Amino acid sequence: MRAYAVAAHAGHPARRYAGIGLVVLLHAVFLWALTNGLATKVVQIIQKPVEVRIIEPIEHIKPPPPPPVPVVKLAPPKAVPPPPRPFVPRPEVAVTPPPAPVIAHQSVPVPTPVAPPPAPPAPIEAPAPAKPVSHEAGVACPNSDAVRRSMVYPQDAQDNDITGEVLVSFVVDTQGRVTDEKIERAADPILNRAALNTVKKFNCISQGEPVRVRVPFSFNLN
């Protein structure tokens, strides 16, 4: 153990001298470099401008804008035609059947025959008196009521609110025919024509002699 320590101590001076030699060598090289301008070149190399590159920040690429939303133009609504006006039927005008005709019978006067002149010896005969007009004789017109009920109120009179009373007279001849129609009490001409056309549809029965019949007509919108 002791011998190993002595050997180690003996090797230390050699190492020391080697280190000193290395330092001296480095100084010599440095002096030689200064002499030959090598150090100046080293300094120039060190003093060269350093290129500094500024790294630009990476621009964030903006995402492309979303595609435009398609605008759908709606067609204007179709015009709805107005509902048709409700049909309002014309109110039926009930024609009030006039009262049963007051049939007044008037006998047509018959000319008095001229009596032949009497023979001179015979007494003079007085002429036969004319038959009195019979107001009691009944003239039957079987269809008169039905015809009057079916009479239509004239449309022109309805449109113009025309009303009135009409009295019509006519003659029933010996054949039962209606003749000689007359307006004895007149109203509007429209109503007069309607009354005359109505009595022409009567079918009457002859009384054996011509008689005149009067029939009243009442026209009202109530």
SS3 106: strand
The whole-number pLDDT of residue 170 equals 92
The whole-number pLDDT of residue 40 equals 62
Q: CA–CA distance from 214 to each of 94, 136, 140, 170 (Å)?
A: 24, 13, 13, 7
Instruction: Please report the sign of the dihedral spanned by the C-alpha atoms of residue 196, residue 199, residue 201, residue 206.
Output: negative
Euclidean distance between CA atoms 92 and 155, whole angstroms: 11
Q: CA–CA distance from 149 to each of 83, 129, 159 (Å)?
A: 40, 42, 21
The whole-number pLDDT of residue 25 equals 86
Euclidean distance between CA atoms 204 and 17, whole angstroms: 184
What ranges in 81-164 are assigned the alpha helix state H? 144-149, 155-159
Per residue in 70-128, pLDDT (tens digit) is 555 555 556 656 667 766 667 666 666 666 666 655 655 655 666 666 666 555 554 44
Tell me how far apart the 2 most distant CA atoms of the chain are, in Å: 238
Residue of higher predicted confidence among 120 and 193 = 193
CATH 3.40.50.300 fits 95-108+135-222, yes or no: no
Q: Is the pTM of this model over 0.85?
A: no
Q: Does the structure show a pLDDT above 70 at 141?
A: yes
Residue 114: what are its φ and ψ, rounded to 5°? -80, 120
- List the domain boundaries for the chain: 2-47, 95-108+135-222
CA-closest candidate to residue 131, choices 47, 14, 210 = 210
Average pLDDT of span 199-215: 89
pLDDT band at 182 (very low <50, low <70, confident <90, very high): very high
Per residue in 26-75, pLDDT (tens digit) is 888 777 767 776 656 655 655 556 565 666 666 666 777 777 755 555 55
